[in-house]
């Protein structure tokens, strides 16, 4: 079966974005090392949640790698998803994978949200270059506001913002999840203490996956 991910415009856009994300990594690590200079030798000085470092990451990609994007697309295709909600757009890399899968499924809608307006603008432009913008509603602002009152049924929820907010965002989206919906939580092992409440998602209407808090794990960065 041909995949929208193989379309030249999509492939080229993703290749460029993933390369830019990789190229940014050393500088991001340097920023963190400057803010938390003793943390490699003294664990007590490490940040304990992604919100501790959020101000250092306003222009950071921190995107899913290619293989995780492809896994997300596979999950959407396998489940025939039509309505997907994403918390944490960043520059739109994961969103492109989600939207490409919906195109393969015959259409649908990704509702994605990003608090940094410049990132949301860049993501919108990338989606347009891919020819996928008709499938995506990019909502600029705090997910705790932008995802309120969604029309369901939502087939898949991707949690990929700051993990301290996974549970509150899940609770906001939960009324719109269809029974058996898939809930995927990324980066749950980066700050295990702050994202521990995410393990409670397995008790919701959806089916939960997450790197360190659930036995049925998927995670990336």
Ligand X SMILES: C[S@@+](CC[C@H](N)C(=O)[O-])C[C@H]1O[C@@H](n2cnc3c(N)ncnc32)[C@H](O)[C@@H]1O
Q: Binding of ligand X at residue 162 (CB under 6 A)?
A: yes
Among 161, 191, 199, 219, binds ligand X (CB under 6 A): 161
**Window 45-74: contact mask with ligand X (x via CB under 6 A):** -----------------xxx----------
Give the count of alpha carbons within 13 A of 203, CB side only.
6
Give, for 8, the enclosing helix (H) or strand (E). helix 8-35
Please state the closest distance from residue 142 (CB atom) to ligand X, in A: 4
* Residue of 206, 160, 153, 209 lying closest to 181 (CA atoms): 206
* Closest to ligand X by CB, 22 or 42: 22
In 3D space, the residue among 95, 33, 202, 172 whose CA is nearest the CA of residue 185 turns out to be: 202
Q: Among 174, 173, 153, 158, which Cα is nearest to 209's?
A: 158
Residues 134-153 that bind ligand X (CB under 6 A): 142-143
The answer to the question of residue 211 lying near ligand X (CB under 6 A) is: no
Q: Which residues bind ligand X (CB under 6 A)?
A: 62-64, 88, 90-91, 93-94, 113-116, 119, 142-143, 160-162, 165
């Amino acid at each position: 079966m041909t995949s929208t991910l193989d379309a030249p415009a999509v492939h080229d856009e993703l290749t460029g974005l993933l390369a830019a994300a990789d190229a940014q990594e050393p500088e991001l690590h340097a920023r963190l090392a400057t803010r938390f200079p003793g943390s490699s030798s003294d664990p007590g000085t490490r940040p304990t949640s992604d919100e501790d470092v959020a101000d250092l990451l306003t222009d950071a990609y921190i995107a899913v790698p290619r293989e995780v994007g492809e896994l997300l697309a596979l999950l959407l295709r396998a489940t025939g998803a039509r309505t997907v909600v994403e918390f944490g757009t960043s520059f739109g890399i994961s969103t492109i994978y989600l939207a490409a899968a919906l195109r393969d499924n015959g259409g649908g809608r990704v509702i994605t949200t990003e608090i940094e307006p410049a990132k949301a603008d860049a993501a919108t432009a990338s989606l347009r270059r891919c020819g996928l913008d008709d499938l995506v509603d990019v909502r600029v602002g705090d997910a705790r506001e932008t995802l309120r009152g969604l029309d369901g049924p939502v087939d898949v929820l991707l949690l990929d913002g700051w993990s301290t907010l996974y549970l509150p965002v899940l609770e906001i989206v939960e009324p719109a999840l269809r029974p058996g919906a898939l809930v995927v939580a990324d980066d749950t092992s980066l700050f295990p203490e702050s994202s521990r409440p995410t393990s409670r998602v397995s008790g919701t209407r959806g089916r939960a996956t997450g790197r360190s808090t659930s036995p049925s794990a998927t995670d990336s960065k």
